[in-house]
Amino acid sequence: MRELFTEHLIYWLILFLFMLGPYGMIFKKNLVKKLMSMNIMQVAVILFFLALGQKTGGTIPINLPGLIGAEHYINPLPHTLMLTAIVVSLATLGVSLGLLLTVQKRYGTLEEDELLRRMNQ
Amino acid sequence: MKEQLPALIVIVPLLIALLSPLVAYFSTRLLRGLGLTAAAVSFVSAVGALGHALTKGPWHYYFGNWAPPWGIEYVIDPLSGLMAVLVSFLSLVVLIYTDSFLREEGWLKQGIHYALYLLLTAGLLGMTVTGDVFNLYVFLEISSLSAYGLIASGGYKATVSAFRYVLVGTVGASFYLLGVGYLYAITGSLNMADLTVRLQPLLDSQAVLIAMVLILVGMGIKMALFPLHGWLPDAYTYSPPAAIPFIAGVMTKVMAYVLLRYFFFIFGVLNGFVPLVLEVVGWIAALGIILASVMAIAQSDFRRMLAFSSVAQVGYIGLGLSLGNMFGFIGAVFHIINHAIMKCCLFLVAGGVKWKTGEHLIEKYAEMSRRMPLTMGAFLLGAFSMVGIPPTAGFFSKWYLILGAIEKDLWIYVVVIILSSLLNAIYFFRVIEQAYLKKAPVAEREKFVEDKKPELPATMLVPIVVLGACILVVGILNEPLVSNILLMAFPGGGL
Amino acid sequence: MKFVRAGALLVVVVMTVVLFIGAGALPAIYNPQSPASTHVSDRYIEKSVEETGSLNFVTAVLADYRGYDTLGETTVIFTAGLAAVVLLRSAQKADSRGKKVPLAKAGKGMSERFGTIVLNTAARFVIPFVTLYGVYVLVGGGEGNPGGGFQSGAVLAIAIIISRLVYGEGAAFNISGDLALILAGIGTFIYAFVGVLTLLWGGNFLEYGIAPFLMSAAEKHSLGISGIEIGVTLCVMATIIAIFDALARKEEVS
Amino acid sequence: MPGAFFLGFLVFLMAVTGLSALFARDLLASIIMFSAFSYFAVLTYLTMGAPDVAFTEAVVGVVSTTFFIVALRRMKRGSSK
């Protein structure tokens, strides 16, 4: 049981979260919810990277006096990469909310079916 | 500064982009000058770097002087150098053309447009010359976000298609990033050269297969490979004419280049699961070529027709990738170059016609050849090249693709290429017929007879003519291009 | 239509299953011997204090070893600000075409004041602390605390957003949208300019060690890191405000 | 590793809040669930030993929730219903 937890289950949960993104984007008809599923997907990627950097016996990657050696600290590289990824997700969110507002202003709806109907009029 | 050329390719447009809102507030004319200078400097640096790569071998540039697996490096080899030259050249040409569309706008709009355009350029250039898979992601996001902004500035319908593009594009980027995560998990490295070495013993692992599929899907979405192309037609149709030639011409092609880079250089086409994946890509691409060409015939809007034709043309590049041999590689890279130039030229023409008449429908092109002879001449070259008529560039890339298919005994691909050329001929002939053979209605006619200046203004005409000439020049000079650059670019190349 | 939905569901499920099976091929989580934990990262952990002078390894990697990525990241934020502003502006075409609007008047936030007495008083207490904290995060970033330019910029932006939300457009503590956009560009430019300086001094881009100052290498690096962190702070703060302004801007009556 | 159970639990909570954000009827409720999702993400990052990422996610969570709410307010105002 413990093996399962440490080796697979966390990856599975993360990948489940990841696939929630495409699922929500296809099946949720509200554009705001599509946006949320996009964000959930990005968070899942971040979790995935952070999970890769885990290390038994490692502490947070900030230098402690007297504690020297790579085996004592968690790998800092995924953290760095994911800082960038978080920032990218915020940027995408800002742009897409702006787009949503414009769409709402013009077509008066954010439901996909209704939107398509009004666009074709 | 000579030894800093690889950095300058990307840094110069980036710097000017950052300052453009500030500069625009004081003087939009200064902004225009600076923007052109930045694009020109970038182009010159790219040419210099390519020259160095061809004569003295690949050029590695370390950012912050940290050696590769720890720091980020730029690698200019013949392939990435060639792509950088192509991207920066088209950026420069389209930037000259853009001017007429923006003159009337306020300072903020102009400043933002220049900033986004230069950021798009910098992002795409960064993607081509980087040697680090995560750095590639960062520049992918820069180019995507600026493309969303540029497309969305084209009015209300554009915002809906831009929103769809944001969603789909972010899915693509996330898939790509997850694929990078898999690669990082099993190798511990992000540097391309380092990855190549460390992946060798692992190529039979399932994780590599999944990473490959994730990267393929991610980049497939971004380059609009056939079943993943849903975002493209609307985005190309509704985006403003000042931005779309560059986006349509270059963006999908850079994504295709990334796939070539991954499959030919990092995974290696003959290893592990790669041939299996490539075979699937080949069939999908072949199907996509035919279906998208048929769809293109059904369109009445010129830009939408070009958009579907883009999907088909990206299929050719996928086909070359899937062949996995030298001719396939040469055909794919050659087609990237050709298609970037042709599509850019055709969209410039579409924008020019729109500027003149305000119309995009093919049926309104009647007698356009008399009204704008030079523009339509460039269009004719582009159309011939798309169809693949010999002296133009398009023929030669198809030729290499066919050679590659024959080498692998895949005759069905040969049939697909020839059949799709026929389809191309059909849908371009419709436009040619309108522009050259049909008579315009009398009312329309009187309007343009009175028109004292029939052609476009020089800032628009020159880019169109230059690109039209490029199609011919690339076609005529295909032999030196292939033997001096493309063969050098092939992994383990130079024969 | 039903058929298409079923097909899409099938694709999603199949991909999930494939990813689940593929997760088995990944190295086990928490394994200290996994490639990710042994190949590149050791140098960051063991050498970064002497090579970059930063006690926080994440800051060292972020701002120094992979500093170029962070320049890209900052640019991404700036790009988002540009895109958000342009599309909300082009939506309100009624804006004076081609006319130069003075910067001071350019940004009109939410016009109505919806602060009550409780909110006003609370905001008066909260804003200085948030601001102070933002500055502290910036300064303390390299000293072994988590945080740095990005977090600091976001916290500062939150202070301004609170003030805008409570006091409305007349808030004294306010930056207008267009000015914010220009500031964001300048912030990112500061970052890039540090790199250009190192180019001019004859080093590679962002090679802090090349600076012609009488300092140890670690000190030069931490100086460079502080330089770029300031740029990041400015850019992030200004961009968040610009996006907020674009989202909250009341449509002008035309 | 005892932390693994806690970590698994937190990721599970993230999945739950994420799902409920997607399936909530009301948009405001959905946004609130989304900020809860973001909060659990912060906890998960902390458990994974990434204080920097957690800090960033915390501020980004605040900013993005603000963006969502402000945008929602505008959308409600502009809607035809």
Residues with Cβ < 8 Å from A17, sequence gap 6 or more?
A40, A41, A43, A44, A47, D11, D14, D15, D18
| Token pair recorded at residue B426 | 């059909």
Q: Which residue from A2, A17, A62 is facing D15, i.e. has the nearest CB? A: A17
Domain boundary among the residues B115, B131, B147 is at: B131
Q: Do D78 and A108 make contact, defined as CB atoms within 8 angstroms?
A: yes
What's residue C145's pLDDT? 73
Using left for φ > 0, alpha for ψ between -120 and 50, and beta otherwise, residue C221 falls in alpha
Q: Smallest Cβ distance to D56: which of C151, C157, C244? A: C151
As a whole number of angstroms, the distance between CA B372 and CA B351 comes to 13
Name the residue among C42, A114, C96 with its Cα closest to residue B107.
Answer: C96
Residue B127, pLDDT score: 92
Contacts of D60 in chain C (CB under 8 A): 154
Minimum-distance CB partner of A10 among D11, D30, D31: D11
- Residue whose structure tokens are 């960038």: A84
Amino acid code (one letter) for B8? L
Contacts of C84 in chain A (CB under 8 A): 94-95, 97-98
- Kindly state whether A55 is in contact with chain B, defined as any CB-CB distance less than 8 angstroms: no
Q: Tell me the residue range of the domain where B282 lies.
A: 132-489
Q: How far is C126 from chain B (nearest CA, A)?
A: 32
CA D81, CA D77: separation in Å to the nearest integer? 9
Instruction: Please give the pLDDT value at position C247.
Output: 84
Among residues B294, B306, B316, which one has the least CA distance to residue B235? B306
Query: How far apart are alpha carbons B471 and B341 in whole angstroms?
Result: 7
CATH class of the structural domain A2-120: mainly alpha
Same domain, B100 and B233: no
Determine which of D55, D60, D62, D79 to mutate to test the interface with C (most C C-beta atoms within 10 Å).
D55
Collect all residues of chain B within an 8 Å Cβ-Cβ radius of residue A95. 145, 148-149, 166
| Contact indicator for B240, B158 with CB cutoff of 8 Å | yes
Same domain, yes or no: B125 and B245: no
Give CA separation, C218 vs B104, C54, C60, C221, C223, in Å: 52, 8, 11, 5, 9
Q: Are residues B387 and B419 in the same domain?
A: yes
Q: Over the stretch D17-52, which tens digit does the pLDDT of each residue have?
A: 999 999 988 888 999 999 999 999 999 998 888 888
- The separation between CA B156 and the C-alpha centre of its own chain, rounded to angstroms, equals 25
Give residue-wise pLDDT tens across range B408-451.
888 899 999 999 999 989 888 888 888 888 777 776 666 666 66
The answer to whether residue A38 neighbours chain D at the CB level (below 8 Å) is no
Chain C: partners with 3+ C-beta pairs within 8 Å: A, B, D
Mean pLDDT of chain B: 87
Which chain D residues are within 8 Å of C247, Cβ to Cβ? 67, 70-71, 74
Which residues on D lie below 8 Å from C148 (Cβ)? 52
**B354 domain-assigned:** yes
The pLDDT value given to residue C94: 39
Domain borders along chain C are 1-39, 55-248
Task: Indicate the residue of A11, A57, A94 with minimum beta-carbon distance to C80.
Answer: A94
**Cα(A94)–Cα(C239) distance, rounded to whole angstroms?**
10
SS3 assignment, position B254 = helix
Chain-chain contact of A50 with D34 (C-beta, under 8 angstroms): no
CA distances (Å), C190 to each of B19, B123, C183, C184, C193, in order? 10, 19, 10, 10, 5
Same domain, B276 and B318: yes
Alpha-carbon span D73 to B130, nearest angstrom? 42
Q: Are residues B124 and B21 in the same domain?
A: yes
CA distance C251 to chain D (A): 10
Across the interface, whether the CB atoms of D60 and A87 are under 8 A apart is answered yes
Q: What residues contact residue A45 under an 8 Å CB cut-off, 6+ apart?
A: A18, A85, B174, B177, B178, B181
- Domain-embedded: residue B94: yes
Q: Is A58 left (phi over 0), alpha (psi -120 to 50) or beta?
A: beta
| Domain-located, residue B495 | no
Is residue B309 a part of any domain in this protein? yes
Domain limits at D65? 3-78
Q: Where are the domains of chain A?
A: 2-120
CA-based nearest residue in chain A for residue B149: A95
Q: CA triplet B29, B30, B32: central angle to 5 degrees?
A: 65
Chains that touch D (3 or more CB pairs under 8 A): A, C
pLDDT band for C114, please (50, 70, 90 cuts). low
Cβ-Cβ contacts under 8 Å, D57 against chain C: none
The runs of H, that is alpha helices, within C168-216 are 177-200
Q: Bigger pLDDT: B241 or A46?
A: A46
Taking CB atoms and an 8 Å cut-off, how many pairs form between chains A and C?
A: 159
Closest CA to B129 of B256, B3, B7: B7
As for the ipTM of the complex, it is 0.91
Beta-bridged to residue B59, according to DSSP, are B76
pLDDT at B174: 93
Domain stops at, among B131, B156, B189: B131
CB spacing of A2 vs D4 below 8 angstroms: yes
Give me the residue label for tokens 């003519």. B465
Residues near C76 by beta carbon (within 8 Å), at least 6 away in sequence: A87, A88, A91, B138, B141, B142, B145
Walk along chain A (121 residues) and give the pLDDT tens digit of each residue.
556 666 678 888 888 899 988 898 888 888 889 999 999 999 999 999 998 888 877 788 888 777 777 778 888 889 999 999 999 999 999 999 988 888 888 888 788 888 888 877 7
**Cβ partners under 8 Å of residue D32, min gap 6:** none
Q: How many domains does chain D have?
A: 1
Number of structural domains (chain B) is 2
Q: Which of B102, B131, B160 is the last residue of a domain?
A: B131
Task: Name the minimum distance, in Å, from the CA of B117 to any CA of chain A.
Answer: 16
